Amino acid sequence: MQLSIDLTGQHVLVTGAATAARQAIKRYESAGAVVFHLPVPAYLGPGAGLPARPFLVAAVDDGQPGWEPVLSRYRAAGVPVASEPAAGAAGHVTLVGGGPGSTDLLTLAALKALRDADVVFYDRLAPYQELPVLTTARLVDVGKKPGHHKVSQTDIQQLMVDAALAGNNVVRFKGGDPYVFGRGGEEVAACVAAGVKVQVISGVTSAISVPAAAGIPVTHREVSHMFTVVSGHAPLTADEHRHLTGLGGTIVVLMGIGTLHQLAAGLRQAGMRADMPMAVVERGYRPGQRTTFANLGTITSAAAGCSNPAVLVIGEVVRVAAANNGHAQATAEFDLLAASLLGS
């Protein structure tokens, strides 16, 4: 069970060794509480410098024996005792997949890593807007835009390594999954080369989730039993167009608006039929999400007003989704009509 409570100005006693309790102390201070810290089970009588009856006791699981009598005394006095995890060992890097852009799709492991972070280097495609609520860490924007890299990849890797070597718990917060066109392999290699402990927390990749947000399944029984994920940052070669056309199944292109014209022309030249269904899903799971349905022969003109971040989907699964979405649209229009009639 999770509860939200206003701790502004309230006395909170955090128990646990300093290293283990450091993140809990930061979290409660960030929540506006007046925090007192008890690092070892000790005398709690007059002169101890602790509140006689705090609003809340936050008990950090630091592995020390002797805490139970202390906590039992507060419970007997009617003081709530909340269990808090110990902070992780200092000086490591965690690559966290932030999913397609909604905090609702963050994993529990991602939330735990953010809670335990001292510094977060984040990208613009991750759900960074909610970071001040999810972590007390120092936040550093290293996001890239097409044609404009505020911080180079090499510099990002050096920032991560330097921060970890200085004793910080570092989170590299990325959109989607770190290992799906996220350069996670390069960042792991940089940490390993510097002797920094590193782990990767997978994220919900936009290759699957953004089509799903538009009602498009990347596989569908008797329609498509495979899908291929392609980066749209650079035009594909003629051989790659032929390969994709010959594979069949569903083609998913990430960030492909800038190369859409070359992609459509290349697939047509490779033999893909002009009436192959296509969709462009913009800003999946974000405000302003929009889906444009067309086919290979008309997509260039149909998507003239589209922009990244976007996911392109090519294949018969789009026809299935378009039919479902058409039914949903008709239902929505009926509901709006009914509401207007009832309102009158």
Beta-bridge partners for 36 = 13
The answer to whether residues 308 and 146 touch, using CB atoms and an 8 Å cutoff, is yes
Amino acid identity at 321: A
Catalytic residue flag (residue 123): yes
Catalytic residue, candidates 160, 174, 177, 255: 255
Which residue matches tokens 């800003």? 283
- What single DSSP character describes residue 235? P
Non-local CB neighbours of 158 within 8 Å, separated by 6+ positions: 190
Non-local CB neighbours of 38 within 8 Å, separated by 6+ positions: 13, 14, 15, 16, 50, 70
Of residues 93, 290, 90, the one with CA closest to residue 188: 93
DSSP secondary structure letters along 38-65: E-SS---STTSSS-SS-SEEEEE----T
The answer to whether residues 34 and 12 touch, using CB atoms and an 8 Å cutoff, is yes
The answer to whether residues 37 and 18 touch, using CB atoms and an 8 Å cutoff, is yes
Beta-bridge partners for 4 = none
Cα 331 from Cα 336, distance rounded (Å): 9
CA angle 10, 131, 158 (to 5 degrees): 120
Tell me phi and psi for residue 179, to 5 degrees: -100, 10
Beta-bridge partners for 309 = none
Catalytic residue, candidates 62, 118, 123, 177: 123
Catalytic residue flag (residue 272): no
Of residues 205, 218, 230, 174, the one with CA closest to residue 285: 205
Catalytic residue flag (residue 197): no
**Residues designated catalytic:** 123, 144, 255
